[in-house]
Every structure is written in structure tokens, then in C-alpha cells.
Chain A
Amino acid sequence: MHETDMTRALILTLQDWWESQPEPPTISKVHLTVGNFTCVEPASLQFAFTVQTQNTFLAGAELVIRETPLIAFCHPCQKEYKPDIGVQYACPDCQSPMEDIRSGRELKINRLEYALLGQPQIQETL
């Protein structure tokens, strides 16, 4: 259920950008980074995005999601490791708890691809 809210947050952010443009762009691709150590499931996000953008200024836009793995850094061992999500987060070599996270917490809108086609067909916002 929360992917609906995440998608809404995403659409609202894109809407801010869209409305700030001098002439209404047609957005074709939205590039995101979603870490594996967040509460967002990329497949659910894709689905929610397709459903929720129907008949809006984002209709037909493609969501391109880059996933990043969970990577932690162990200070005693001075090295990075990949925790086994759901099973173990402590360092596999020395059992130190997961302190620093180097990757995996990202929830980011990186960039948009768009065209200027004059008036887009649908200009509905949320």
C-alpha cells in the first residue's frame, strides 16, 4: 500500500518541476535510484506509477529504476561488505554490528528526459 504514497510523492515532485517550466514539456522517462535497504519495492513502484499517472501530464512516461545494493563498512576490518538482508547485518568476519551504510538507503529522482512538442495532449495534474 505504501508504494501508492511513494508514487504520489514522486508525482507531486515532478509536478512542481513541470509547472515551473516556461512551456509544458512532455516527460518520456523518469530516472530513479532506489536502494535495497529502503521500504520501497521497485516492482510495486512501477505498477503504482503506471496506474496513478493515467490521464495526467505523466501519462505514458517510463519509470527507469536503478537499484543499489546494501553495502556496509566495517570499521574493525576496514572493509566493505554486503549484509544478507533479512538474515544478518553484522560483519560476517568479525560480527561487528552494521554501523556505516555506504549504499542502499537511496530514494532519489536523478533526472528526467523530456521533449517540447508544443501543447501536450493531456495537461491534467493531481
Chain B
Amino acid sequence: MHQTFDAALEINLLHANQDGADHNRAHFEEWGIVCVNLMSSPGAGKTQLLERTLQALNPECKMAVIEGDMTTELDAERLRQYGVPVIAINTGRACHLDSKMVAGGIHSLSHEHDPASLDLVWVENVGNLVCPAEFEVGEHAKVALLSVTEGEDKPLKYPIMFREADCLIITKTDLTPYLEIDLERIKANVRQVNPQVPIFAVSTKTLEGFEGWLQWVRQLIVQKGVCV
């Protein structure tokens, strides 16, 4: 018989990812950058929100985008026309970005551009309601998007992302007249798991509600002490 030994580890399963995220955040802070992680199910409107936001805040705020599209450069191409650096990370079949992939993005960003001149870096995560919330990438804030076409029950069925979000955007509100959906019900469901989260109901088509979101972004930047 062999003797069996015990080793107490008591560490998080995602320890290595967490370390990488802290490392990324330290880089951002050294350059005076606020990093925002955008998360939602596929097609909820992350890229279109970014398009409108880049349009509205450029050049008041110096921004860049780290784009986590699965296999294509489509989203990155859409965003490049707004005159900001866009780094596309090919995530292959991964269903979320992790801190190592984003570290690669930061590396490219710091070689091809002057990171110290930036105020805000957007990370567009892979469209997925389940995993991205567990994998920090070094962000200062997580923004979750939920489109009105997805249904009121999604915050209850996929609660983790909504629980972890620092800001929630209900998107495509221009479509509500065509749907049987109650915006207040969506908000109440989100508040069950995240009572204090700021919620903005926005259409990036009509720009209804958009100013509230911009104010939140400006406030975040001021809070973090850059771009004042």
C-alpha cells in the first residue's frame, strides 16, 4: 500500500484568469485608462451601441475597442469607420473572452498606438449570456445588454451576468410596439438579482434613452479620475 497525502489548495478554480485580469487592469491604470466589458447574448446590440457611442463621445473622449468576435472581422470593420483603434481578437471557438486573450489585445494596442493617450477602452465580449460573467478580463465595469426581443424571463434564467453587471442596457426599445413585452417586468426581474444596478432603456435606432447611457459613461470616466 502506498501512503496517500493531502494537499490543501483552497484556491479559486479561475485563479489563473483572475491573476491575468488583475495584471491587465494594472496596465490600464498605469496608462490612465478605464476599461468597460460589454456582454450580452448574440445579437443583442453590442456593436451598434458601440457605433453610436463612439460617434457621440469622439473626440471628447479618446477611445479604443478590443473586439472579441468569434471568427470574423465583421464587427471590427464596422467600428473602424469611426476613426478609433480597433483590435480584433480572434477567439476561435471560445465562448467568452478571458484575461489572456485580452492581454494579447492590450499588447497589440500598446505597440500600434499610444496607450497613454487613451481614456477609455471598450471590450466587446463574445455573444453569450452564460459564461462571460465568470471570466474577468481586467475591466473596471461590466455592462450587460438585454434586447426587448429576448423576453422578460432572461434575467431569471441567466442570472449571473445580470447579478454581476454594473450597468444594464435594455436595447431595441423601438421594437416594443411590435412585441408583447413589459419593460417594467424586465427591470423588476433584473432588480431581483441586482437591486441597485442602473438600468437604461435605449434604442440605438431612434436614440431614445441614449443620453442617459452617455451620462453614465461620462460619470464612470470622471469617477475613475481620467479624462476630466
Contacts and interface: CB of A to CB of B under 8 A. Distances in A.
Contact of A110 (B10, B95, B133): B10
B193 A114 contact: no
A113 B3 CA distance: 10
B99 to A, nearest CB: 11
A28 B1 CA distance: 14
B215 interface: no
B149 to A, nearest CB: 20
Nearest to B193: A89
Interface residues of B, number: 35
Contact of A37 (B5, B7, B16, B159): B159
Contact of B5 (A86, A98, A99, A113): A113
Interface in A20-59: 25, 28, 32, 37-40
Interface string B9-43: 11111111100000000000000000000000000
A2 B10 contact: no
B192 interface: yes
B156 interface: yes
B13 A39 contact: no
A109 B9 contact: yes
Nearest to B13: A107
B16 A9 contact: yes
B89 to A, nearest CB: 15
Contacts of B194: 97
Contacts of B131: 2, 5, 39
B7 A6 contact: no
A10 B157 contact: no
A56 B77 CA distance: 41
Interface in A67-126: 85-90, 97-99, 107-117
Nearest to A109: B9
B7 A12 contact: no
A98 B192 contact: yes
Given A1-B93, A98-B192, A109 B10 contact: yes
B130 interface: yes
Contacts of A116: 2-3, 5
B11 A28 contact: no
A111 B4 CA distance: 13
19 contacts: A9-B13, A9-B17, A10-B13, A12-B16, A13-B15, A38-B134, A39-B130, A39-B160, A40-B134, A97-B195, A107-B13, A107-B134, A109-B9, A109-B10, A109-B11, A110-B8, A112-B7, A115-B2, A116-B5
9 closest A-B pairs by CB: A97-B195, A2-B131, A107-B13, A115-B2, A89-B192, A112-B7, A90-B192, A109-B9, A111-B8
